[in-house]
Amino acid sequence: MLVHICCSVDSHFFIEKLQQEFPDEKLVGFFYDPNIHPYSEYRLRLLDVERSCKKLGIELIEGEYDFENWIDAVRGLEKEPEKGARCEVCFDRRFEVSAHKAIELGESTMTTTLLVSPKKSQEQLIRSGEVFEASHGVKFVAFDYRKNNGTADQGRVAKEQQLYRQDYCGCLYGLSMQRDQQHKLMDEMFSPLSCQILPASIEERLELYTRRNELEKQGIPYRILKERFYNYRLMRASVKVLNTVIPSYPLFYSTINRLAIEGKIDFEINGQFFLNREEVRFITLDTFNTLSESSYKNTKELMFNAPSVETEIVLRTQLTDSPFNTSAIIVVDVIPTEKISLLLETKTYDDTREKLIRLELA
């Protein structure tokens, strides 16, 4: 039986139930989910599915990540709600490819772990599956493992196995609507010029779960915990001197009370040059290099290849004597003597992040 897999939280529980119910059935997992966006989220979900399938002892095949074709398939349905017409087209696309894979492998039966997801319509899934059964000759089997308290059991299994528990279906349009309803920043879509791995980002979680897998290979016990913290995203920034934009880099947690301000350097203390507006400070790249023990040749290089956020927070604390300071600290090659125009658009917000704790061996 070919089992189309959407994510580890659904698939681990679903496949466990299949193995219990059909102990003699050979199961082949097929991860085909071109709807997942961004690509880092796709890689993260695939990483966890690979771990899950290895634990369950089943073969896993990765399908093509043909996101552009998926976008074309759902064009015009961007505003459809969850369980609406866009989802049905999405199921059709994934089932068609899965049915062809089943035929290629010589499998006569297929199913999908989407059936166990409480966010999906089983009626839609069954309707799509039956259409492709009729047209492709691959029998679609709909298992209802949600009943008899199945959803609660699924949550228990996900917690016990420390699976990656994503908080959106994977679709860009579904995510956008979900964040709008929650009045939350869609920070999953941020891709900083600095190439930094941002706190609570998909890339941070991808690193965390990769380290988790390495600890498991080494037999080192661990826990994945959640913690609350104050998050930050830089939307856009620029520094103009005499109407000319100069290379500049705001340190993490740099904020001002408005979108843009103008001013001149008022005074200097220990290598920090204070603007006469909004508690803004400027430091030279030489000062940045000295305090962070780095060797950037110019600010432009820093802009496109910044150090870790943790390094910047340590530097900020050195400069301000406080881990709670959110004054703008701007790095430039040379401190301007003329009028400065600063544009700085940022978002700061309460958030949660996962943390990997390595436990001591007994």
175 assigned to some structural domain: no
Q: Both 115 and 31 in a single domain? A: yes
Q: Both 267 and 341 in a single domain? A: yes
7 assigned to some structural domain: yes
Q: Both 243 and 338 in a single domain? A: yes
pLDDT of residue 271: 96
238: nearest Cα among 292, 303, 291: 303
Q: Which residues neighbour 270 within 8 Å (Cβ) at sequence distance 6 or greater?
A: none
pLDDT of residue 352: 96
pLDDT of residue 118: 81
Q: Both 156 and 32 in a single domain? A: yes
Domain termination residue (choose one: 170, 191, 206): 170
361 assigned to some structural domain: no
- Amino acid 341 reads S
The stretches in the chain having pLDDT less than 70 are 361-362
pLDDT of residue 135: 85
Q: How far apart are CA 161 and CA 288, in angstroms?
A: 43
Domain termination residue (choose one: 170, 188, 209): 170
Q: Both 105 and 236 in a single domain? A: no
pLDDT digits (tens, 9 = 90+) for 231-286: 999 999 999 999 999 999 999 999 999 999 999 999 999 999 999 999 999 999 99
Looking at the 3D structure of the chain, how many domains does it have? 2
Q: Both 31 and 105 in a single domain? A: yes
Q: What is the pTM of this model?
A: 0.92
Q: How far apart are CA 279 and CA 327, in angstroms?
A: 6
pLDDT of residue 132: 82
226 assigned to some structural domain: no
118 cis-preceded (ω within 30 degrees of 0): no
Q: How far apart are CA 324 and CA 255, in angstroms?
A: 12
- For residue 291, the number of C-alpha atoms closer than 13 Å in the C-beta half-sphere is 20
pLDDT of residue 361: 65
The continuous run of DSSP H or E covering 215 comes out as: helix 202-217
pLDDT of residue 150: 87
CATH of the domain at 90: 3.40.50.620
Q: Both 40 and 131 in a single domain? A: yes
Q: How far apart are CA 143 and CA 113, in angstroms?
A: 9
80 assigned to some structural domain: yes
Q: How far apart are CA 111 and CA 240, in angstroms?
A: 59
Residue 126 in contact with residue 92, Cβ under 8 Å?
Answer: no
40 assigned to some structural domain: yes
Q: Both 252 and 132 in a single domain? A: no
Q: Both 127 and 258 in a single domain? A: no
Q: Both 159 and 247 in a single domain? A: no
Question: In which region does residue 134 sit, left (phi positive, over 0), alpha (psi from -120 to 50) or beta (all else)?
Answer: alpha
200 assigned to some structural domain: no
Q: Both 150 and 254 in a single domain? A: no
25: nearest Cα among 55, 52, 57: 57
Range of the domain at 10: 2-170
Q: Both 15 and 153 in a single domain? A: yes
41: nearest Cα among 182, 205, 193: 205
Write the DSSP assignment of 184-198 as a string of letters: ---GGG---TT----
Q: Token match 């059709």: residue?
A: 92
178 assigned to some structural domain: no
Domain termination residue (choose one: 145, 170, 195): 170
Q: How far apart are CA 155 and CA 54, in angstroms?
A: 20
Is 239 strand, coil or helix?
Answer: strand
The number of angstroms, rounded, from the C-alpha of 182 to the middle of its chain's C-alpha atoms is 17
